[in-house]
Structure 1
Amino acid sequence: MLPQKKIWKALTDKNEMKSWYFTIRDFELEIGKEFDFYESCDGGKYLHRGRILEIIPNSKLKHSWSYPELSDAVTTVTWELQPENDGTLVTVTHENIEGFDDLGEIFSRASFTEGWNSIIGQSMKEYVEK
């Protein structure tokens, strides 16, 4: 099973992130730092913006999540890493998603849940286990 430090590095090192998550060129692991990236979905390309809100090394990363070109709504994403048996439990909590309700189905809670499950359960898992 995987140690927290390996998963933390995959989550917070921009060179590793691009292999399983998104290419975030301006990501810096420092409270208050903003970062931007684009993601293509359903024929559209969407600007994502975040700001680092909380860091507990090897345990917790909390950042804002917004689509500044589409909405004034700002949500919060919290990544938590906890020891579990011989491995690490990764939990992602995405709060205030209802702020994106007026943006359509691809910004719904169900869509985000599906996306996060895929990111953690497939992309991240496959990357850190190789």
Structure 2
Amino acid sequence: MQNEPVVIQKTYDAPVEKIWKALTDINEIRKWYFNLAEFKAEPGFEFSFLAGHEGREFLHLCRVTTAVPNKKLSYTWRYDGFEGDSEVSFELFPEGEKTKLVLTHTGLETFPANNPDFQRSNFVMGWTHFVEVALNDYLRDGSGK
């Protein structure tokens, strides 16, 4: 089960351009996602941030691998000081005035299996929150997190 990717899908009542902006504009990212110092939707761009849960924070190290405007954003996702490399992808599919987002996080099996912080269930919980709650609330009324 740990080697299965996390896949979260949601259809939003928003045009694809608005969701792309939420995923790629640093000012919008900070309203619903993580407090990144800088972000550019350009392959090769590297960014990092501190985040965690239950009082334990991890330095996340990421590098953009794919950026196709209004279609797909992907970046590597790893943790400083720990084994493992994974990738997160956001794919956007216009459906009239709505947009379906498919988030896929692959490579979870490369993280230390004996560390409970890296259990698949934690990734499912975190990504579900961002897709179902934070981004949804941000798109609806700008409140985000």
Q: Which has the higher contact order (CA 8 A, sep 6+)?
A: 2
2:94 is matched with: 83
Structure 1 position 103, deviation (Å): 5.3
For 1:1-130, list aligned pairs within 5 A: 1-69=13-81, 71-84=82-95, 86-102=97-113, 104-130=115-141
SS in 1 for 2:42: coil
Structure 1 unpaired stretches of 5+: none
Kept after mapping to 1: 8 A contact 2:43/2:64 = yes
Q: Which runs of 4+ in 1 moved over 3 A?
A: none
Alignment root-mean-square deviation, CA: 1.3
TM-score by length of 2: 0.84
Structure 2 unpaired stretches of 5+: 1-12
Q: Matched residue pairs, number?
A: 129
2:20, 2:67 → 1: CA distance?
Answer: 11
More helix by share: 1
SS in 1 for 2:111: helix
